[in-house]
Amino acid sequence: MLLRNTIVYTLGNLAPRVIGFVLLPVYSAVMNPAEYGIIGAIGGLYMLLSLLVTLAIDRSVFRLYWDYKTEPERRVYLGTIIIGLLTVAACSAALLLLPLRPLVALIYGNIPFHPYYTLAIGTAALGVVSMVPKAWLQLKQRAVAFTVISLLELLLNAGLIVWWVVVARQGAVGYFKAQFWATLVLVPYFLWLSWRIAEPRFNRAMFTASLRFSAPVIPNLISAWLMNMANRVFLDRYATMADIGYYSFAYQLASVLIVICSAFNQAYSPVFYETAASPDQVAARRRLTFFNNLFALAVVWVAFAGALLARDFIELCINTRYLPAAGLIPLLLLGMGLDQISGLAHYSIYQCKRTDVTMWLQMGLAVINVALNFALIPTWGVWGAAWAAILTAAVGLVARQWASRRFYHIPLKVGWLALWATVCVLLVVVSDQLLAGRWFTLAVRAIWALLPLGGLWLFWRSHQTAKGI
């Protein structure tokens, strides 16, 4: 079930990237790097806005839903969260658009508040309507239904982007218009689905429990945003918008790793907590250790494959004016890979309901990341931003693994990972001796990228836990 759901979620999460990759040559033809820089900057801000209009209350659903043992209780709980989220979103959006507008506009001093910030805030607020219905589908392990709905959202969004960006030639403004209207069109459907799965009642005790769980997550997520997107704020002041465009373009390509990891986590989250709660703890820990380490090995392989193919892909499939982004991709993949592997420790900590621990960890890492960005970006620009991300992720991996030892610790097999990473790095170094910029070379690199899969197969076969997945 876990393997099947991971594959389904991966296909659903990869679809936006596939369509995004298909449209990249189109974007590069109709938008210059500066316009793409605006998309990258406001797109990063959207993550923060989504947090501000929800207060992370939606994050509590995955953990607290199972605390209620009967279906009527669960329906009341979902109804409580829906009502609470809609209320918080409406109030937050009004505050961001009116009294807090001057403060919000300071984030990116070179980008006008209207229409960019306005559209982003509106889209984030409307997106709240879909959160609980989608969470319910994941809780019920209805991966196919979840993916079908996500694909419908994607096709609508992509169609509107093509219209406003390519046909109407509205550039970055058209991109955010498309996202806003695609979200608005689907609001009635998600309201209908919410009515079917939830009881329209508000229970103060349930909402308070969710707030208590989510409150420590808010600084955690703000810190995560600072780690991933604060460099855009520094780049806005110390680099050109074209540089931000190159960085955002490289981040877009490298983030296929995050998409794959997110798909795994969507399938793994309910499995982890259900397994961790089983009576046979010896078998449970053995099973979870296998899953965690298989995931870590797969992350290394995906990062390796991306680093191997990045330059040839841009040169052959994308407009050559975006070629400066190619050198950033291996660095961004390294930082993302370290961060995704270290994130496994959160499951161990959340199992003990200690979200406060992850909050302090994330806040500490955010401070380190901001300090590194402040120190490196003024001198090294986008390269400084990439190295700041790598150094922060490395510190995070050590800190989170150390912290998780106090809770439901699932160890990483450091020897396997070190050997695996060394093999992948050596393959990249050897591959760099090949000529770049030809379809034949790209094909050779693609075949080369498949070689380490033999190691994954051996790891799979060496564990009896793999049977029945």
- List the single range of 207-221, 316-330, 419-433 with lowest mean pLDDT: 419-433
Dihedral sign (CA 190, 196, 202, 204): negative
Instruction: Indicate whether 111 and 164 sit together in one domain.
Output: yes
Q: Minimal CA–CA distance to 116: which of 24, 55, 44?
A: 44
- pLDDT score at 336: 92
DSSP assignment string, 295-363: HHHHHHHHHHHHHHHHHHHHHHHS-GGGGGGTTHHHHHHHHHHHHHHHTTHHHHHHHTT-HHHHHHHHH
Write out pLDDT tens, residues 145-156.
888 888 888 889
- pLDDT score at 90: 93
Instruction: Indicate whether 248 and 327 sit together in one domain.
Output: yes
**CB of 313 within 8 A of CB of 372?**
no
Report residue 161 as tokens.
């982007």
Report residue 421 as tokens.
């990473």
| Stated pTM of the model | 0.71
The pLDDT-based confidence of 465 (bands split at 50, 70, 90) is: very low
Question: In this predicted model, which residue has the larger pLDDT, 64 or 441?
Answer: 64
Question: In this predicted model, which residue has the larger pLDDT, 316 or 12?
Answer: 316
Select the highest-mean-pLDDT range: 137-151, 199-213, 225-239.
199-213
Write out pLDDT tens, residues 100-124.
888 887 788 788 888 998 999 999 9
- pLDDT score at 432: 63
Report residue 235 as tokens.
């780049």
Domain finish residue from 179, 194, 215: 215
Q: Assess whether pLDDT exceeds 90 at residue 80.
A: yes
* Burial of 347 (C-beta count, 10 Å sphere; 0-12/13-18/19+): buried
* Burial of 280 (C-beta count, 10 Å sphere; 0-12/13-18/19+): exposed
Q: Assess whether pLDDT exceeds 70 at residue 265.
A: yes
* Burial of 82 (C-beta count, 10 Å sphere; 0-12/13-18/19+): buried
- pLDDT score at 180: 95
Instruction: Indicate whether 148 and 184 sit together in one domain.
Output: yes
pLDDT over 70 percentage in the chain: 87
Report residue 390 as tokens.
């790598």
Write out pLDDT tens, residues 269-310.
878 887 887 888 888 888 888 888 888 888 888 888 888 888
The pLDDT-based confidence of 248 (bands split at 50, 70, 90) is: confident
Instruction: Indicate whether 190 and 297 sit together in one domain.
Output: no
Q: Assess whether pLDDT exceeds 80 at residue 97.
A: yes
Instruction: Indicate whether 266 and 186 sit together in one domain.
Output: no
Instruction: Indicate whether 8 and 45 sit together in one domain.
Output: no
For the segment 336-357, the average pLDDT, to the nearest whole number, is 85
- Determine the Cα–Cα distance for residues 343 and 339; give it in Å rounded to an integer: 6
Instruction: Indicate whether 460 and 318 sit together in one domain.
Output: yes
Instruction: Indicate whether 37 and 182 sit together in one domain.
Output: yes
- List the single range of 1-5, 102-106, 260-264, 417-421 with lowest mean pLDDT: 1-5
Dihedral sign (CA 121, 336, 55, 197): positive
Peptide bond into 115 cis (omega under 30): yes
Domain finish residue from 185, 215, 245: 215
- List the single range of 293-302, 351-360, 427-436 with lowest mean pLDDT: 427-436
Q: Assess whether pLDDT exceeds 50 at residue 73.
A: yes
- Determine the Cα–Cα distance for residues 39 and 52; give it in Å rounded to an integer: 20
For residue 329, the enclosing domain spans 1-22+216-469
Instruction: Indicate whether 202 and 333 sit together in one domain.
Output: no
Q: Assess whether pLDDT exceeds 70 at residue 460.
A: no
- pLDDT score at 437: 47
- Determine the Cα–Cα distance for residues 202 and 207; give it in Å rounded to an integer: 8
Write out pLDDT tens, residues 13-70.
666 666 776 777 777 778 888 888 888 888 878 888 888 888 888 878 887 888 888 8
**CA R_g for the chain:** 22
- pLDDT score at 264: 79
Instruction: Indicate whether 207 and 221 sit together in one domain.
Output: no
Number of domains in the chain: 2
For the segment 116-140, the average pLDDT, to the nearest whole number, is 90
Instruction: Indicate whether 211 and 222 sit together in one domain.
Output: no
Question: In this predicted model, which residue has the larger pLDDT, 57 or 224?
Answer: 57
Domain finish residue from 215, 237, 252: 215
pLDDT over 90 percentage in the chain: 26
**CB of 179 within 8 A of CB of 157?**
yes
Residue 74 to residues 17, 66, 271, 451: CA-CA distances in angstroms? 34, 8, 19, 47
Report residue 145 as tokens.
């239904």
Q: Does residue 407 come out as left (phi exceeding 0), alpha (psi in the -120 to 50 range) or beta?
A: beta
Sequence-distant (≥ 6) Cβ neighbours of residue 127 within 8 angstroms: 50, 183
Q: Assess whether pLDDT exceeds 70 at residue 219.
A: yes
What is the rounded average pLDDT for all residues in the chain? Answer: 82
Instruction: Indicate whether 237 and 203 sit together in one domain.
Output: no
Q: Assess whether pLDDT exceeds 90 at residue 184.
A: yes
- pLDDT score at 419: 79
Report residue 56 as tokens.
């992370």
- pLDDT score at 60: 83
For the segment 315-331, the average pLDDT, to the nearest whole number, is 82
Q: Assess whether pLDDT exceeds 60 at residue 435.
A: no
For residue 255, the one-letter residue type is S
